[in-house]
């Protein structure tokens, strides 16, 4: 396997729109990194640049310690798995798996051995004689994955490979991918708009918006200490509560209660609290506006003096009023203009004075 280093990658399209702006990232050998962001944020463009299918306007791509500029896609020794599967309909699964090896003039016996080994790894041995049209979506995705695995590349690139699958099948294939990545010890860059995929598969997750990296870190770091309001709202389900409120010497007033955030700050800030961090217990009086049954839990829209707060609870509220508690450590304070996490910025200054 190999490392990948992106240095100040930018990509401007002919119409003048900027898809990527000074993106720098290092993916270590055998690391699984997911790139998460909404549609149009530039994540697929970044993947295509690594693969050599697109070219940056500025910056450099390094693969395994060597610059990739001028190296054509077929010579970069990377394998890409597309959302569309990209299987040849006139070939059976065996032929689809073997195609790249045939083009490289690998001996027939070696091709057969690698096809059989790959099929056994992915549990698709009984599909080798079938055409793609005879397969389910999950089976087609396994064949597309096998076509990448059989090449034994330095780097695997995944471009939203599970988007075409239904929810139940997507969950199952996601679990299989995580086990597979651990087994083959691969260097993986995986693009998705699904935060569950991004955080469950990754060693590190990179959140991208409008062509700019908003934050990179472990899934736990992104959840517990989001760098800004975009990351805070994009990571976590249900989404974080974000309200505008005034702090006086770090003290936040919600309804009749005052909570000390521990920050030496005054003024109007954007306050964030995750629904699962709000407890139903003696505290702030609230009115129940809406209850959604999520199966094992209930999502409650509660209003404290007219301020809406989403609360994730284990039980349905017994009445149309309740009381809420918020632990100060669960309160995130963001700058209203820049969206930056005030506490995160202070911690960063302590570490890097």
pLDDT band, very low/low/confident/very high, at 350 (cuts 50, 70, 90) = very low
At 340 the three-state DSSP class reads strand
Beta bridge partners of 158: 81, 190
> CATH for 4-230, among 3.40.50.300, 2.40.50.140, 3.90.1150.10, 2.102.10.10?
3.40.50.300
Confidence (pLDDT) at 148: 86
Pairwise CA distance, residues 122 & 143, whole Å: 8
pTM over 0.85: yes
Q: Is the pLDDT of residue 349 over 70?
A: no
Which residue's structure tokens are 């280093």?
5
Pairwise CA distance, residues 59 & 336, whole Å: 32
Pairwise CA distance, residues 271 & 333, whole Å: 5
Confidence (pLDDT) at 347: 56
Q: Which pair of structure tokens corresponds to residue 235?
A: 């990571």
137-149 and 108-122 helices, crossing angle to 10°: 130
Q: Which pair of structure tokens corresponds to residue 228?
A: 């800004």
Read off the pLDDT of each residue in 174-191 and give the average, rounded to a whole number.
88
Confidence (pLDDT) at 225: 94
Read off the pLDDT of each residue in 131-151 and give the average, rounded to a whole number.
88
Read off the pLDDT of each residue in 121-129 and give the average, rounded to a whole number.
89
Q: Assess if CATH 2.40.50.140 describes domain 239-351.
A: yes
| Contact assessment for residue 144 and residue 91, using Cβ atoms and an 8 Å cutoff | no
Lowest mean pLDDT among 193-207, 231-245, 255-269: 255-269
Q: Is the pLDDT of residue 107 over 60?
A: yes
167-184 and 108-122 helices, crossing angle to 10°: 120
| Contact assessment for residue 167 and residue 209, using Cβ atoms and an 8 Å cutoff | no
Pairwise CA distance, residues 323 & 304, whole Å: 9
Kindly list the domain boundaries of the chain, sorted by start residue: 4-230, 239-351
């Amino acid at each position: 396997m190999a490392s990948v280093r992106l240095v100040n990658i930018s990509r401007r399209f002919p119409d003048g729109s900027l898809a990527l702006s000074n993106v720098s990232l290092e993916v270590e050998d055998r690391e699984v990194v997911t790139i998460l962001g909404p549609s149009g944020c530039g994540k697929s463009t970044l993947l295509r640049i690594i693969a050599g299918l697109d070219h940056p306007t500025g910056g450099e791509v390094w693969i395994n310690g060597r610059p990739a500029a001028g190296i054509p896609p077929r010579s970069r020794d990377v394998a890409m798995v597309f959302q569309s599967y990209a299987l040849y309909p006139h070939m059976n699964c065996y032929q689809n798996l073997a195609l790249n090896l045939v083009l490289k003039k690998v001996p027939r016996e070696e091709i057969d051995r690698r096809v059989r080994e790959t099929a056994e790894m992915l549990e698709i041995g009984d599909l080798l004689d079938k055409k793609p049209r005879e397969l389910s979506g999950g089976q087609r995705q396994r064949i597309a994955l096998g076509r990448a695995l059989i090449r034994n590349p330095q780097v695997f690139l995944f471009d939203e490979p599970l988007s075409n699958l239904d929810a139940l099948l997507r969950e199952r294939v996601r679990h299989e991918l995580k086990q597979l990545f651990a087994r083959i010890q691969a260097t993986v860059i995986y693009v998705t708009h699904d935060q569950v995929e991004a955080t469950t598969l990754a060693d590190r997750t990179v959140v991208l918006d409008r062509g700019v990296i908003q934050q990179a870190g472990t899934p736990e770091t992104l959840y517990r200490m989001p760098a800004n309001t975009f990351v805070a709202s994009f990571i976590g389900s249900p989404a974080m509560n974000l309200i505008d409120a005034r702090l006086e010497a770090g003290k936040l007033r919600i309804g009749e209660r005052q909570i000390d955030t521990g920050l030496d700050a005054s003024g109007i800030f954007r306050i964030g609290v995750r629904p699962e961090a709000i407890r139903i217990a003696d505290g702030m009086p609230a009115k129940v506006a809406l209850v959604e049954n999520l199966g094992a839990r209930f999502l409650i829209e509660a209003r404290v003096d007219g301020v809406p707060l989403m609360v994730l609870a284990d039980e349905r509220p017994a009445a149309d009023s309740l009381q809420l508690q918020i632990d100060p450590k669960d309160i995130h304070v963001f700058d209203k203009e820049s969206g930056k996490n005030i506490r995160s910025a202070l911690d960063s200054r302590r570490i890097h004075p």
